[in-house]
Chains A and B, each alone.
Chain A
Amino acid sequence: MSKLLALTKEMMVYFHNIFRLYQKIWTFDKLYVVISGLLIAMRVIHPFNGILFLKWIVDELTGQARLPETLLLIGLMCGIEFIIRSLDSIFWTYEQKKILRFKTKFLKEINLKTMNLSYQQIEDPQMIDDRQKAMEIFYPGQAHFMDLQNTIIDSKQLIVNTLQLFGVIAILLTLGPVIFIVLLLTYFVSLILNTIASHKEFNVWSNSLVHIGRRIGYFQELSTDFAYAKEMRMNQLGQWIEDKMQYYFKQVKKDVTKAVHAFTWMNIISNTLQVIVNGGVYFYIGWLAYNAVISLSEIVVYMTSLGVFVNALFGITACIISLQKAGMHLSTYFKYLQTVTLNEAQQQDDESTQDSNWSIDPKQEIKTSIKIEFVDVWFQYPNQEEYTLKHINLTINPGEKLAIVGENGAGKTTLIKLLLRLYKPTKGKILINGTDIHDLHFDDYTNYITAVFQDFNILNFSLLHNIVFDNEYSDESIAEIIRDLNLEDTIEKLPHHLHTELGRLFHQEGVELSGGQQQKLAIARALFKDSPFIVLDEPTAMLSPKAEYEIYTNFSGLTKDKTTVYISHRMSSCRFCDRIIVMKMGEIIEIGSHEQLMRERGEYERLYTTQAEFYKNLEVAK
């Protein structure tokens, strides 16, 4: 019983979500909601048109059997039918159009929300899962499992069917109170049984099968994603993939089959009950007619009504299943939209205190020179026991060129991510000209700082858009950057020069740039942004020695008066820098210029000489 209560409560939440959905749609398009209301009324009436006229026609046929009167009745019935159905068709197409637009609006909200969330938030697997669920209803991906279209249509159908059911019951009530009570009881029992069954059914299709579907989907993705193609072929993983699929399949097969049996049986029980009760009512109607209590035409009315009754009942159950799914997805959707971004300072009322800190216009001050301070910064990834960064105290002076070196996993990239506000320090503060960077608006902050990542993305837009995105630009500034990066020849050779589409996803004639060219483009993008602070995370890993040499010799020119932070594994690149910090196990262990650090004979010297050793050994061999 308590289980049933919990179920009811859950359902209430789901239905409330659907109500909220309509509230939202109301803000988008009031006319649509009003028209929907009218349509529901029309649909409710629809079956009664047939029932009523059929009674009159049969009355006429069994009574006086006059042809003109019969024809009139037929004409009237079909005329009304025609009007209802035409309106229905027109509305159906109107609704399709509207739903597509609603979906787009809902998705846009999710897109905006996602882009406003902090990097740390969207990296959270729970959040990713939530987002996917929230999106699924507006953007059916995998199995067309959920669709806003069904939700909207089904929610209306539910109202229509329920009202019809009452109408039919009112007609059947004239048969006598006993019949009415029996039917009502059947209705309730069936509804409860069907709801429980549909709940089970939903769990099977949505949880167990989606779960295994994801796993199987992963292995399918491995086989078809060409990034994996080499690995798959060289290790001959075909059989392995098949085994894995079968393994996961066997894991769920038994449970799913059992669950399917369970809800099928419940459906069968409920159906049996209905068939028997309906049969009894049929017989009762026949008995009444036999005793001439009711006429032939009334039999037709009752029988047809009973048919509508059964259909409405089935309709209600089907709608409940579908709406339950929708309600669940909508829960995640509403929750997702309410997620507070960690990018902006938490409370609005903090603003007043912050404002006092900004005695001068913050932008003005910062644009000219940037000083970054790490004050005892600690950082711990979520769900990890150890701190990835410990005790970070560091000042980066305006105009400085700083290199960060260290082993893989020493925390270099994490440090950069904190600096870029992709993560927030667990403890400690990062200050920009004395203000905590997290007190600034995220968008303002990103004006001051830019980065070239190891795993940059070239987007499937034109080359120019890849550099400027939607910012304004002057031809000279673009030309200058291209010249500085030695990209002139490359661009000259492209079919539409700067306006060449990159990537073949949307254009057969799109161009795929080589790794080195892509990397230069990523650097161009960062230079165009012209922020006073620039971070480079292994910017030359994909370049040949010659191209690398070019970039480094040009770079000091390119980043003239900018504060620059490099991460690099090639010690040679550190020589361009004013200061080098050496990281180990999440801590800064050495800071100083190349000469200083070489003299100290510490970690840096070790790293440097290991790399130099290769060359020295080769020299000696010579």
Chain B
Amino acid sequence: MKIMGNLASLYKLVFINSKIYLLISLLHIISNAVAPFVTIIYFKYLLDALQFGYGLPYILKITLTMIAIHLVVTNTQIYTKSATTLHSKWLLVPLTAMFCQKSIEMDYKYTEDQTIIEEMNRASFVLANGDNLEKYLEAVNGIFVAIIQLAFITILATLLNPLLIIFVLAVSVINAFVSLWVQRKNYSLHRESLPVDRKWRYIIDLATDLKFAKEVRLFQLKNFVIRNGDENRSAFFSYFDRTNGNERKGLLINTITNISQEVMVLIILAYAVIFRGLSIGNFVVLMNGIRQFSDSFRALFEQVVNLYTINNYINDFFVFMSRKSELRNPASKIKIKPGSPAGKFELVNVSFHYPHNPRMILKNVNLTIEAGECLVIVGENGAGKTTLVKLLMRLYDVTSGEIKYNGINIKQYDYDSYMYALATVFQDYKIFAVSAYENITFKRNDHDPYVQSLLQQNQLLEKIKSLPHQENTVLSKRFESDGIELSGGQAQKLAFCRAMYKQSPVLILDEPSASLSPIAENEMYIAFAKVIQNKTTIFISHRLSSSTISDKICVLDDGEVAEYGTHEELLKQKGLYHHMYELQSRYYKESV
């Protein structure tokens, strides 16, 4: 039943995106269904004509008719084959786009949820693994082709001997059951072997991926990798040999049933010729027709199995596509207007634990960030700093308590407009394989004086101007040979440009200076001091020197606000902050 539902959803998409495809596949079905019969039926007429002496003009007539029909049918086959392949490949584009949109809009918490990750991966099999969609659509066509052919042969054969068709049908059904039995057995083996194969892919990555190249060379992992690969493969071979054995059994049983069918059919037909006066023409037609029946039935079976197998992926695709977002609540309609002034954040009794892990990461956090204020959050690794910021960014929603922006619970804002109000720079910022301009604006290449001034502010203009296509230079060598890879520091500056371009009232920085040299760090602070003047800023940092630009500092310890106040206040408290500060500044102070 699910197959029907998925088929309906899929063909709805096909109908929306490519109506012509439907017409072409109809032609494809008809031409393929008819094709094998053209010569079979021609033989019958030819042989009959010769056996009963119908004359040369009659032979010429049927030959010409055959040629004409054959031309139309085979050429339609050729054309529709190319066209269906092409159109089903084109269909991948809108489907992929939909899928990408969905994965980006999917709630962030799902990115850490194994079941959803797997669902998403399986859904992507419809797209990335190329021919699944193509095969699925082909299977649908193939089923129609087979059904038409079977119906045709049944009519043909029943005219002679209905027993014949029942007999052949029985053999075909036995064959189908044997194949089904083999596939069932092998499917469970295949499932068991999947993790083994995944590990193999990982091992190949270890050997070949640039990411691991340094370790492989310096720690001489050659033998380690090869040995693990060999072990993995021998485990996989034992699975494979078992499925292989099952397959062999199935094939041999099928051969036996097929041959017995052939023997029976030939005996019946020969008997009919000898004792019932069946014409040689009909003898040949029926012999070939019945062989075609077996072929069509096998094709029907195979396509149904194909449909069924691929349907699992298609199903995952549609389930994934229809997954509801909890963050995007249509009832939340309050919009933050672009260009509105900085607002105030209040965290009221906020507690949080990650889904599937009951350990509380944040415990009863109460914190106020005034409009236009800069708050620095410090603390040990694992104290909950990043989590806190994730809550502010609505990557997760609080477990209990509430977060208010300008007095309104952030859940009540329209999700998109709330996102628009935040600009962020992460420690693990990403540079995309598109032009520098597009990396900042995410708009098609154009000239924007604002981008120029941003580049200038971040001391990046000179570098960008030196590139082969200035700001239109692609920032990756992945696709373009004249692409450029920026150095770590330059890339980070670009990430700042990107955040500033948004001109949003709130700025969130998650350890942006970790990979910067002291000078660059200093420059960054100077640049930021200007930028953040009218913004509410939240800044996570390991370097307490960031306190220079902060209004308030919050020390998180094990999910709780341990200390809060200005730099001076906290130093006076002689608590955690004081201790951290002493550790970091000791060496600098000695020489001062």
Does B46 have its Cβ within 8 Å of any Cβ on chain A? yes
| Interface 9-mer from B74-82, B301-309, B330-338 | B74-82
B517 A239 Cβ-Cβ under 8 A? no
B571 CB contact (under 8 Å) in A111, A290, A442, A622: A622
Chain A residue numbers with a CB within 8 Å of B522 are 610-611, 613-614
B104 A233 Cβ-Cβ under 8 A? yes
Does A469 have its Cβ within 8 Å of any Cβ on chain B? yes
Question: Nearest residue in A to B476 (C-beta to C-beta)?
Answer: A218
Chain B residue numbers with a CB within 8 Å of A434 are none
The answer to whether residues A122 and B213 also contact, given A223-B103, A268-B79, A504-B114 and a CB cut-off of 8 A, is: yes
Binary flags per residue of B512-553, CB closer than 8 Å to A gives 1, else 0: 001111111110010000000000000000111111100000
B104 A241 Cβ-Cβ under 8 A? yes
A89 to B429 alpha-carbon distance, docked (Å): 56
The answer to whether residues A282 and B97 also contact, given A74-B270, A572-B587, A610-B518 and a CB cut-off of 8 A, is: no
Chain B residue numbers with a CB within 8 Å of A233 are 104, 108, 393, 395, 419
B224 A61 Cβ-Cβ under 8 A? no
Chain B residue numbers with a CB within 8 Å of A421 are 217
Question: Nearest residue in B to A65 (C-beta to C-beta)?
Answer: B274
Does A601 have its Cβ within 8 Å of any Cβ on chain B? no
B68-108 with Cβ < 8 A to chain A: 70-71, 74-75, 78-79, 82-83, 86, 89-90, 92-93, 96-97, 99-101, 103-105, 108
B90 A253 Cβ-Cβ under 8 A? yes
A572 B240 Cβ-Cβ under 8 A? no
Does A585 have its Cβ within 8 Å of any Cβ on chain B? no
The answer to whether residues A90 and B252 also contact, given A112-B222, A142-B129 and a CB cut-off of 8 A, is: yes
Chain B residue numbers with a CB within 8 Å of A443 are 220
A527 to B399 alpha-carbon distance, docked (Å): 42
| Interface 9-mer from B6-14, B55-63, B359-367 | B55-63
A245 to B519 alpha-carbon distance, docked (Å): 40
Chain B residue numbers with a CB within 8 Å of A545 are 542, 544, 580, 583-584
Chain B residue numbers with a CB within 8 Å of A100 are 237, 240
B129 CB contact (under 8 Å) in A65, A143, A230, A234: A143
| Interface 9-mer from A174-182, A257-265, A344-352 | A257-265
B56 A135 Cβ-Cβ under 8 A? no
A220 B96 Cβ-Cβ under 8 A? yes
A547 B381 Cβ-Cβ under 8 A? yes
B129 A515 Cβ-Cβ under 8 A? no
A619 B589 Cβ-Cβ under 8 A? yes
From residue A620, how far is it (CB to closest CB) to chain B in Å? 11
Chain B residue numbers with a CB within 8 Å of A96 are 244, 247
Chain A residue numbers with a CB within 8 Å of B70 are 275, 279
Chain A residue numbers with a CB within 8 Å of B221 are 115, 469-470
Chain B residue numbers with a CB within 8 Å of A606 are 519
Question: Nearest residue in B to A443 (C-beta to C-beta)?
Answer: B220
Chain A residue numbers with a CB within 8 Å of B121 are 224
Does B420 have its Cβ within 8 Å of any Cβ on chain A? yes
B210 A122 Cβ-Cβ under 8 A? yes
Does A593 have its Cβ within 8 Å of any Cβ on chain B? no
A616 B588 Cβ-Cβ under 8 A? yes
A123 B588 Cβ-Cβ under 8 A? no
A139 B204 Cβ-Cβ under 8 A? yes
Chain A residue numbers with a CB within 8 Å of B207 are 110-112, 114-115
Does B314 have its Cβ within 8 Å of any Cβ on chain A? no
Chain B residue numbers with a CB within 8 Å of A81 are 259, 262
B381 A516 Cβ-Cβ under 8 A? yes
B67 A61 Cβ-Cβ under 8 A? no
Chain A residue numbers with a CB within 8 Å of B267 are 71, 74
A240 to B2 alpha-carbon distance, docked (Å): 33
A271 B104 Cβ-Cβ under 8 A? no
A238 B514 Cβ-Cβ under 8 A? no
Chain B residue numbers with a CB within 8 Å of A538 are 515
B548 A614 Cβ-Cβ under 8 A? yes
Does A16 have its Cβ within 8 Å of any Cβ on chain B? no
Question: Nearest residue in B to A131 (C-beta to C-beta)?
Answer: B208
Known: A70-B274, A78-B263, A93-B248. 15 other contacts (CB 8 A): A71-B270, A77-B266, A85-B255, A92-B251, A93-B251, A115-B216, A237-B104, A240-B443, A264-B79, A264-B82, A268-B75, A282-B42, A470-B224, A525-B219, A542-B514
Q: List 8 A-B contacts (CB under 8 A).
A: A97-B244, A115-B221, A145-B130, A241-B97, A290-B50, A442-B217, A469-B224, A529-B219
